[in-house]
Chains A and B, each alone.
Chain A
Amino acid sequence: MKRSVVSALGAAGLLVLFGHIALAQAATPDPTAAANSYVNAPFNWEMWFPAAGSPMQARIDWLMQYVLWIMAGVVGFVGILMLYVIVRYRASRNPKPSQVTHNTLIEVIWIVVPVLILAVIIVPSINLIYYQADDSNPYMTVTVTGHQWYWEYNYNSVPGLDYTSYMIPDDQIKPGELRRLSVDHPMVLPVGEKIKFVITSGDVLHGFYLPSLGVQKYAIPGTTLTSWTTITKPGTYFGQCNQICGLDHDAMPIEIKAVPLADYIAWTKAALATYTDNTVPAVPLSSPMPRNQLADATR
């Protein structure tokens, strides 16, 4: 009897405790929660591009299939020719070799047909180059700066919002995070809006590479390159540094949380309020980087 009362009290206590936690979470909603429902990350034994997270990547995906099928046809054709030659003209089956060394018609054909195939590839490819270059009229611009070995995101349209993004070290990975991909402060972006990236570097070359969004540009010190994207669906997207930049080249991934516009605006306010130190820490470039100590408004 007494024991059951104690256990009932204990259960009630636990309920109160959990209820309290739930209430606390409800009191400070995470503006980037919408991004957690869909995670666009590489998966084991993947054999194709990531699912397209932007119209740009959808077009790259289409063109890649188009070109790759044409080239697969070429490889298949050459393979069949070779197989035929290997079987039909082996010494045991064809002991007397012909001595033909010229055939003008066939030589013209194997110049003209490849030219036509290339023309068929070039047209949609050039169209896509123009599409990729058109970064006009963005809804917002983020200046991305590569550093050894972290990224810095400066939201040009939100004065004062300029923060750094470090990879979560392997020994601090928590459940739900991806080793070598998750970061402490992801870049938060609105879905459905055109976002322009202005990409540069604070030290050596880096590569700003977002495979699921079809974005890739070098980050070059002393100059800026631009790219753009429009993320179609709320979710978490990943990228990595793709130009050798020193000993932690593999330890500066990019994580993007794409959320509805209202959530994005709520996040900018929260981030401005809680990212108390919005400037990039000035540390000697050759020393080990201290872990970023900013308050984490994104989790």
Chain B
Amino acid sequence: MSTTAHDHAHGHEGHAHHKQSFVSRWLMSTNHKDIGTLYITAAFIGACVGGVLSMIMRLQLMYPHNNIVTSGTEWNAIITAHGLIMIFWFVMPALIGGMGNWFVPIMIGAPDMAFPRLNNMSFWFLVAGFVFVMLGLFLGSGTGAGWTLYPPLDNAEYSPGIATDFSLFSIHLVGISSLLGAINFIATILNMRAPGMTMHKMPLFCWAILVTAFLLVLAIPVLAGAVTMLIMDRNFGTSFFEPSGGGDPVLFQHLFWFFGHPEVYIMILPAFGIISHVVSTFSKKPIFGYLGMAYAMVIIGFVGFVVWAHHMFVSAISTDSKIYFEVATLVIAVPTGIKVFSWIATMWGGSIEFKTPMLWAVGFIFLFVIGGATGVVLANASLDQELHNDYFLIAHFHYVLSMGAAFAIFAGFYYWIGKMAGHQYPEFWGKVHFWTFFIGVNLTFFPMHFLGLAGMPRRYPDYADAFAGWNYVSSVGAIISGLSSLVFFYVLYCVFTSKEKLADNYWGEGATTLEWAIPSPAPQHTFEDVPVIR
């Protein structure tokens, strides 16, 4: 991404008021596009680190009794870092901080975010958090409690050493980052829409980011409280979660999932927003059922807050609570169904061009439906007694994250890279990237359903020999996905070495939001005159 920086700073940057030095532009940035670029760069680094960790995991699991990971401690540190990094330093910065920062102000016709300095601070907290989570991986024996950080495993007795403290503080740092970013988005979207841009005319991506921001503001403080209590238990002799002192490990599970379930929607709602734009653009049709789409996200966000204990069906939970949480969870399938059917209805009657972003979007819709279907299965508390924490669950959440969120990130990348970098991606290699990744991830995660049904638990570095077959297939799939990422690196190389100029609206009639009314690449400062909508 640094090449973009170069282009922006010294290239055809007609609108820039003055040339900034590298340091003042990138280290002290208050420009939403530059901060968005920084976020996307950080997400790219996070994805590479998290991806390397997942490659190590799949290579270890390729054969039973394998020795690539040398100890259970090392294994646990790797899986913990993989989970934390992929969620907090890949998916969230890519979707919210990256694409949200880049396109929400443009789409609503605002000159920048409401609080540009807060925006900068939010980004650097993310970087500080990344340093801490890497220290948590590498210092001593690492943090080995899993990304859910359940006590007592991560208390001072069972996880001595400073690594776990670093990981816990990294959650604080990234939490502050998300919280400040969310406040900024809410203020921007509610106050800085251009004249005529009413809430009900606002693009769906902005709706998605708005709902996501509210989820963050309500959920992150609960996580921060829980993590603070863990830090207190570890270092200051409190016993919030210590049974011996009258505390309760189950309390942490409640607090964690009160954050953790909205977090699931924090990761997928912005993806929904991107998919809506891509589907509409390449079908050359306005989105079907716009209001239903917007309010479906509001409902998903709202109900997403009252279903958290479905992560605790085999923990300490009463029978009646199980029934409530099962029913509430299943209710979410209805607004999600509205979204899926509305996307298909948008395509229906359209004139669809299958450019690379559309391939990712169509892939997203189908694979997300598979992940949603297994989600409905897992929502049944009675079935969760069999499926909880086994590989069926791993398959489910990778279908909605590794295929759902990641496919949407790639859809957004291919859709907007011309607007962000000023150069188009190579269509052929974009399609090669899509198909190799599609085959790779399906081969990786579909067999995991079978492993789960057969009873293989998660977070095992070594497994019974009977699980060898499907694990081998899964690892082969992971290698294909890994090679596919190399294709993506080549796509990046092509984009940043391209000399080709792009039109303002390079997708044509289907692309109707405001970012297509400004030049490609977007000038440093957009909307010096306030645009008026219709």
Contact = CB atoms under 8 A, between A and B. Distances in A.
Contacts of B456: 42
A74 B370 CA distance: 9
B373 A71 contact: yes
Contact of B150 (A67, A86, A205, A212): A205
A242 B285 contact: no
A17 interface: no
Interface in B279-319: 283-290, 292, 314-316, 319
Contacts of A49: 386, 453-455
Nearest to B459: A244
A111 B342 CA distance: 11
Contact of A95 (B71, B347, B351, B370): B351
A96 interface: yes
Interface in A22-81: 41-50, 57, 59-60, 63-64, 67-68, 71-72, 74-75, 78-79, 81
Contacts of B284: 91, 97
Interface stretch (A158-166, A219-227, A272-280): A219-227
Interface in A246-270: 246-251, 253
A180 interface: yes
A153 interface: no
A64 B354 contact: no
Contacts of B362: 82, 86
Contacts of B377: 64, 67-68, 71
Contact of B389 (A43, A223, A243, A253): A243
A203 B158 contact: yes
Contact of A204 (B153, B319, B350): B153
A250 B157 contact: no
A65 to B, nearest CB: 11
B347 A129 contact: no
A21 to B, nearest CB: 30
Interface stretch (B122-130, B256-264, B325-333, B488-496): B325-333
A83 B7 CA distance: 41
Contact of B145 (A126, A239, A244): A244
Interface stretch (A3-11, A115-123, A188-196): A115-123
A209 B464 contact: no
B481 to A, nearest CB: 22
Contacts of A59: 382
B24 interface: no
A249 to B, nearest CB: 6
Contacts of B72: 246-251
Interface string B476-499: 000000000000000000000000
B427 interface: no
Contacts of B190: none
Contacts of B327: 122
Contacts of B73: 247
Interface of B: 64-65, 71-73, 75-76, 144-146, 150, 152-153, 157-158, 243-244, 248-250, 283-290, 292, 314-316, 319, 322-323, 326-327, 330-331, 333-334, 337-338, 340-341, 344-345, 347-354, 362, 365-366, 369-370, 373-374, 376-377, 380-383, 385-386, 388-390, 450, 453-470, 510
Interface of A: 41-50, 57, 59-60, 63-64, 67-68, 71-72, 74-75, 78-79, 81-82, 85-86, 89-91, 94-103, 106-107, 110-111, 114-115, 118, 121-122, 125-126, 128-133, 148, 170, 178-181, 203-205, 207, 209, 211-212, 214-218, 220-223, 225, 238-251, 253, 285
